[in-house]
Each structure stands twice: as structure tokens, then as C-alpha cells.
Amino acid sequence: MQKLKERIAREGKVLPGNIVKVDGFLNHLVDTRLMDDIAEEFAKYFDTKRITRVLTAEASGIALATVCAQHYGVPMLFAKKAKSDNIESGLYQSEVFSYTYKKKVTLLVSQEWLGPEDKVLIIDDFMANGYAMQGLVDIVNAAGAELVGIGVAVEKGFQGGGDKFRAMENVPYHALAVIEKADENGITFREDD
């Protein structure tokens, strides 16, 4: 998605450790018009009329997943990273390593909100190694739900997370902006995406 790539190139920052900071428009201060454009772009790649849930992980994916869910007319569900007292039923859970926080976290979804009848589109704002995404896939599988697609706004292609999802059979995967290189010289995008 050219508009997203231009925004990353213009406003994104590369921090030590090849961390790409896009929080001025994607996942802290949120440009809702850009979110609308991203939701429309994902609808070109996924059969959004089939889905019953948009799933993401807490916290930075929530804004994008909410806008997508609104566009597609379905609820948005997010995996929590901490158990709260207001979760009454059983839980689906997956332990993953957080690249951002450099520690293990447990993704939690109430069994009350996800089940075998659901058709799930996973949407996230950013992917590095793909550990959180794999955790979401594991939760969908544990629920017996059908995974109908995985959409990522920004993928750090040089970390390989997206490669295993591209290789999945029968599950469409699409990243709108795949970063091939990020360093003190700037950000370079993969040309074929």
C-alpha cells in the first residue's frame, strides 16, 4: 500500500536494535483516516463477508482491528495480556515472546467470545518475528474456529515472521508494507509487496 509506505518513510524512525517506530500515526497517535484506508485495502485481499470476528492482540493492534471490524460489520475481539477478575468463563491462552517488551507474555481470550462457529480474520498493526501472531493463530485453533486470513499493516520482513504465515496452506496472509531493511540510513521496502 503505497500511501502507508510513504507515511512510514516520511514519519517512521529507526531506533537502536532495528526497532521501527511508527507511533505518530499507527499505534499511539492514530490517524483514523489512514486506518480507514488500511481497512479498505485489506478488504481487497480477504473475503470479509465470511468473517464473524476480527481478532488482534492487546494493545497496539486494537485501533486498527476496531476500524477494520467496523468496516466489515463484525465484532472486534482482542487477546488480553493479563487475566482480569471480570473474565467469568474458561480461557484460551498462548504464551508468546514479546519482541517489543523482551519478555514472555500470555495472550488470553475468553471462551465466551470465540468458538467453533466463528470465522476469524486476524489483523495486527505490526509484525517482527511473528510470535504474537502465532499465539493468535494457536488461540483460533484451540477454539476450533476457522482462520480465514491474516492481515498485517507493517511487517519487518528482515526478521522473517511473515515468511511462515505466507507458507500456510489455505490461510491467506497479506502485509501492506514489508520493510526489507531499517537502519541509520533509513527504511527500505520490499518491492514485491
Q: How far apart are CA 165 and CA 178, in angstroms?
A: 13
Predicted pLDDT at 82: 77
Residue pLDDT, tens place only, 131-165: 999 999 999 999 999 999 999 999 999 999 999 99
Is pLDDT above 60 for 28?
A: yes
Average the pLDDT over each of 16-25, 40-49, 105-114 and give the range with the smallest value: 16-25
User: At residue 95, what is the residue type?
Assistant: E
Q: How far apart are CA 152 and CA 42, in angstroms?
A: 9
User: At residue 89, what is the residue type?
Assistant: S
For the chain, list the domains and their CATH numbers.
2-189 (3.40.50.2020)
Residue pLDDT, tens place only, 49-60: 999 999 999 989
pTM, 2 dp: 0.94
Q: In the 3-class helix/strand/coil scheme, how is 49-95 assigned residue by residue?
A: CCCCEEEEECCCCHHHHHHHHHHHCCCEEEEECCCCCCCCCCEEEEE
Q: 156 and 18 in contact (C-beta within 8 Å)?
A: yes
